[in-house]
Structure 1
Amino acid sequence: MNEELQNINKLSDSQLVEYFQDGVIARATGSDFNNQLYIEVRKKLLENKNIDELLPEWIKTKRTIDQFWTFIKGGYSTYQERRDFLWNEFAPLLNYLETKTTSPLDESIVFDEVHIHNQWQKALDRKQTEPEGAITLARTLIESILKHILDEQNIEYNDAADLPELYKEVAKSLNLAPENHQEQIFKQILGGSSSIVSGLGALRNKLGDAHGKSKKSIKPSERHSELAVNLAGTMAIFLFKTFKEAAKNN
């Protein structure tokens, strides 16, 4: 046991998550996972603040292997259901740790704002199977980055403000308003950026899952959600990098 505990200390973050995932799947499907190992690996995962928001919520409350067993046995009756649940629970975290290519936001945002990466990953995961949810999450991604920029600059705003209003404040602070530029091409691009943000808000209200729908409501397809998610990612990158550049120059 001591040797196995020592080996755990040599594992990378992704290897540690895989080790834990394999252990709980084993316990969930009739095999053993030593309680001391469960406790030690769980402790290491919780101490890693870089992955805190990507950890499955149940890890934070199930402190022993017996508590986990009671939780998984009560929630899922078959081995396959338990495997599927646990694979899905760890997928966003393992994608983040192993590939660092789950979204174009990884390079520019994730290392500082894990919660924004988490929103993006959820949108990517849902764009095919739950297009309405992906559209709503794409809109939330933009809202998060806009509010983050305003918070970092100590600019007050109405927390219930819609996307165009938030974007207007950010554009003003980062000199992104089209009227502040003389070159026609920049005025056109920045005007388009404003339209994209407004469009994402409107698309979410029309096709997202945040509001009740009538029988006549349009149901979005994967191409609609893919458009929303990709536009949200592109705008988030642009806004975040513009903010970082402005902060560097001040």
Structure 2
Amino acid sequence: MSDAFFDAPEIPDDLFECAIHLRNNIIGLTTDGGSDVEYKLARSKLMGDPASKRLLPDFVRFSNDAASVRAALSGVASGAGSWALRRNHVNETFKPILIFLEAGGSAADATITDGITVYDAPAVQTFWAKALERRATDPEGAVTAASTLLEEVCKHIIEDSGGEWSDKWNIPKLYAEASKLLNLAPSQHQEEVFKTILGNCQSVVQSIGSLRNKGGDAHAGGRLRVPFKPRHAALTVNLAGSMALFLIETWQAKGK
């Protein structure tokens, strides 16, 4: 067996830890530190997992070695004081995969995370991350985050369309306004099948808002408080994420 085998650095088996290792190594590469061998090994491990591969930053997916990474990051910033900008860029672009892996995400989580990340709205990304992080350990917090995620998406779409929303509007009202702007309101369609599907989407959003009021951690529930289980939170988060992605993708398609 070759000496190279024994000299090869150890890369974490856990994908989340591997992603952190890769991120930190890349930050080192931006200052002429880091390791080309470790970069290749960690990158190869994550590229071998389909869900992780799609969430890796583009500059990682298309850079086979340390030299390619340095070249890609030099395009982000160069010159005096540029190290901090490159480091921030690395940290920001690694957030989607770290959020996904830390939450023990599924392929569906990866698809939603990918779509939400593309939408330039930090608040939306924050609440999706909170929903994923909390669904197994803090069901009530996850339901609240899922509900707030939908609120944020609707508010952003209304604002991006040149409209305004009121602080008094609840989730059903926000969704009703956003859906009209996206031509997703049941009343805007004639085909019965589309009216039914879009009406069910409306019901899902309304129900998620009601769940938050019943058992989320946004309000005190008193004796009538509903104790959520992780499976309830998982269902709510998955539905909210799917609806958020549907709204975002419809908005993006509308702008093309």
TM-score by length of 1: 0.63
Corresponding residue for 1:45? 87
* Secondary structure of the corresponding residue to residue 234 of structure 2: helix
Kept after mapping to 1: 8 A contact 2:143/2:216: yes
Change (3 A) 1:158 1:229: same
Structure 1: gaps (5+ residues)? 15-38, 56-89
Q: Residues 114 and 41 (structure 1 numbering): CA distance in 2 closer, same or farther, change over 3 Å? A: farther
Alignment of 1:177 with 2:203, yes or no, is no
In structure 1, the residue matched to 2:32 is 6
Contact 2:29 2:35 in 1 (8 A): no
Instruction: Report how far residue 218 of structure 1 moved.
Output: 1.9
Shift of residue 3 of structure 1?
9.4
How far has the Cα of 1:181 moved from its partner?
1.0
RMSD: 3.5
Q: What residue is the counterpart of 2:132 in the other structure?
A: 124
Q: Could you tell me which residue of structure 1 aligns to residue 10 of structure 2?
A: none
Q: 2: CA distance between counterparts of 1:150 and 1:181?
A: 20
Q: Is 1:108 matched up with 2:115?
A: yes
1:222 is matched with 230
Identity %: 35
C-alpha distance in 1 between matches for 2:92 and 2:107:
13
Structure 2: gaps (5+ residues)? 1-27, 44-55, 58-80
Give 1:245's aligned residue: 253
SS in structure 2 at match of 1:104: helix
Q: Check whether the contact 2:100–2:109 (CA below 8 A) recurs between aligned residues.
A: no
Aligned in 2, Cα 1:236/1:207: closer, same or farther, shift over 3 Å? Answer: same
Q: Is the 8 A contact 1:102 1:121 kept in 2?
A: no
Higher relative contact order (CA 8 A, sep 6+): 1
Alignment-mate amino acid for residue 87 of structure 2 = L
2:151 to 126, 143, 163: 143
Whether the 8 Å CA contact 1:51–1:114 is kept in 2: the answer is no
Q: Describe the superposition over 1:18-42 as per-residue Cα deviations: whole angstroms up to 9, x where unpaired.
A: xxxxxxxxxxxxxxxxxxxxx9976
2:210 pairs with one of 202, 205, 214: 202
Distance 1:95 1:214, change over 3 A: closer
Distance in 2 between residues matched to 1:160 and 1:128, nearest whole Å: 31
Does the C-alpha gap of structure 1 residues 45 and 114 become closer, same or farther in structure 2, counting only changes over 3 Å?
Answer: farther
Residue of 153, 163, 166 corresponding to 1:158: 166
